Amino acid sequence: MKKFKTLTAVLAAATMALSSMSWAQSEPAANKFSQTLTPDNAVLAMIDHQTGLLVGVRDLDPMLLKNNIRGLTAMAKVLDLPSVITSSYPTGPNGPIMPDILENLPNAPVINRQGEINAWKSPEFKKAIEKTGRKKIIMAGLVTDVCLLFPALSAVAEGYDVYAVIDASGTWNDTVQQAAIARMSQAGVKVTTWGSVLAEIMDDWRSPKGMELGGVLGNHTSYGWVYSSFMSQAGQSK
């Protein structure tokens, strides 16, 4: 009986210790999910937005997707946000990078991968991300279930905080998109939209780039009616 009580006490102590360890390990993760983007802690990664892949997108209207991509990259341009562009086998069927991205991000390094499907497995791409010194990656890619999903999972596994911009990414159909969203969410990737990213990183209309970012949102969403009305009234009041 005495041995049984001793064993019970030991097991209870072990359970409490494991519970404390579990809480301590989960607390940083919880903190990570409450952290927000700022112009100083994020890097934008545009992955495989190539003309050949764009043709096959069916989960979003291609013109809407193109508009969202322009909005996301225009946001990065306004903020002078560090950005990295990569393509998969651009001389093959995937085709070249969409010119819209290169137009908005003319100074971003372009990594043309010759074989790696997962961009994170490209030493050049990974090195370009690491060079920024930033641990929060705003990531978008074509197609969602491969070119976004794979590097998002790999980056999270190495301690990065990944924001997967789902409406600046695209794939073959809604089912594939939903499966990719589920898998990324299970791994701790933050699935989001480009407008939400812009608002989060803007934070305050009184910020130095507040009105410019409002203009980006207005130029690429129906918020443009609101923004144009405000600007018109502001001009009349002067």
Give the pLDDT confidence of 133-181 residue by residue, as tens digits.
999 999 999 999 999 999 999 999 999 999 999 999 999 999 999 999 9
d(CA 143, CA 179): 13
pTM equals: 0.85
Confidence of residue 34 (pLDDT cuts 50, 70, 90): confident
Q: Strand 136-141 to strand 110-113: parallel, antiparallel, or no bridges (unpaired)?
A: unpaired
Give the pLDDT confidence of 111-134 residue by residue, as tens digits.
999 899 999 999 999 999 999 999
* For range 186-210, the mean pLDDT: 97
Catalytic positions are 147
The encoded tokens of residue 36 equal: 């927000």
User: In this predicted structure, what is the pLDDT of residue 16?
Assistant: 47
Domains and CATH numbers, the chain: 37-203 (3.40.50.850)
- Whether 25 has a pLDDT exceeding 50, the answer reads no
Confidence of residue 8 (pLDDT cuts 50, 70, 90): low
Percent of the chain scored above 70 by pLDDT? 83
User: In this predicted structure, what is the pLDDT of residue 19?
Assistant: 45
Is the alpha carbon torsion for 129, 135, 139, 145 positive or negative? Answer: positive
Confidence of residue 24 (pLDDT cuts 50, 70, 90): very low
